[in-house]
Amino acid sequence: MFGRGCSQMSKRTNTAQWEEKYQRWRIAVQKDGVRKQFYSSTPGRTGQREANAKADRWLDDGIGVKARRVEDLYQEWYATVVKTTGTGNQRNIESRWRTRILPAIGRKRITSLTEQDLQDVVNDAYSDGLAKKSLQSLCADMRAFCKWCRAKKLTTFHPEGLHVPAGARPKGKKVLQPDALITLFRVDTTLYKGKRVHDDFIHAYRFQVLTGLRPGELVGLHWADVKGGTVFISRAVNVLGEQTRGKNDNAVRAFVLSDLARAVLEQQRAVTGAGESVFCLKSEAYYYKRWQVYCRVNEIPPVSAYEMRHTFVSVAKKLPAGEVKDLVGHSEDMDTFGVYGHALTGEDTETAQAVNGMFLKLLHAGK
């Protein structure tokens, strides 16, 4: 008890005094050269203890009564985000805060923020029809912000109960159906100035469907990444043209090519093998534009370039989940089939050939 008392005395040696003129308790304390005063208008010793407690809380935690507003702290927090994440992720975070979070809680002071305040942001977004992944991102943003504020000793608030509503559903995604896959592997032409011409990126389309690469990984693929029958993925080019190491830690991976994928790559080697880039795609946007033209010309229901990746996972969904995660670079806790395994109307040779067999079965069905 004596030790504890000495520790308390070293922090604050005075006590709140009653000011008759203002009918309040007042205590002045100083820390790191900053002097603050705390008050309580509650009569009696209860009010004195309240004022003392406010002072102690500030001395212990650095949390003042006149706490700063969320909108001001957000600017400082976002500056740290800019230093530690890519431009694409920065833009997504900024958009969520500008459109969803700041309008709801920006004017609140950090010490008055409650878990329900944050939950209301998520619930409103859910009511507006945002997909499950978007709601998860909102939760992650606000948790990260609160963690930063705790580290800065601006609050002790920890929104541990913040959650995505149970009824949230993943965003609906499309995949290439069997008839479209058959067309993709039979037709190699597109339309240019009204004439049927060979599509220079036909091998890129086919390779993405056969391997599940992300569009940015396809853009960033070099011939040096292909060693024998194995592809090593270690870079991606995002929509802003920035070269990165991929979407997550699992994005850096290697996999054995199926026979079909290997054949497509050898056909591409005859075209670009003397250069550095495998498919010579100048940007993800350009690749998407060319793919959309190919789909329209060949009467393939439009799907995005990213949904060709979904198609691969849908075809390969009979494989053990762990094998597909390794192939496409998903984290261990991601529900690969739940997100990508839509209904249809390889780190080792066995996995590669299993994938090969599934595609052959689909493609031969049209013969």
Give me the pLDDT at residue 205, please: 95
Q: Provide the token pair at 44.
A: 């009696």
Give me the pLDDT at residue 58, please: 80
The highest-level CATH class for domain 70-151 is mainly alpha
Give me the pLDDT at residue 233, please: 85
Backbone dihedral region for residue 271 (phi beyond 0: left; psi -120 to 50: alpha; all else: beta): alpha
Q: What is the mean pLDDT of each run of 10 residues along the chain (367 residues)?
A: 36 89 92 84 93 86 68 96 87 95 94 94 94 94 96 90 91 79 91 93 93 89 92 81 63 80 93 95 92 94 85 66 39 40 47 70 64
CB 284 within 8 A of CB 221: no
Count of CA atoms in the C-beta half-sphere (13 A) of 319: 28
Give me the pLDDT at residue 5, please: 35
- For the entire predicted model, the pTM comes to 0.58
Q: What is the DSSP-derived secondary structure letter of residue 189?
A: E
Residue 211: Cβ within 10 Å count: 27
CB 64 within 8 A of CB 34: no
The highest-level CATH class for domain 178-364 is mainly alpha
Give me the pLDDT at residue 35, please: 85
CB 329 within 8 A of CB 251: yes
End-to-end CA separation in angstroms for the chain:
87
Burial of 280 (0-12, 13-18, 19+ CB in 10 A): middle
Burial of 353 (0-12, 13-18, 19+ CB in 10 A): middle
Sequence-distant (≥ 6) Cβ neighbours of residue 308 within 8 angstroms: 176, 205, 208, 209, 291
The domain ranges of the chain are: 2-61, 70-151, 178-364
Give me the pLDDT at residue 10, please: 40
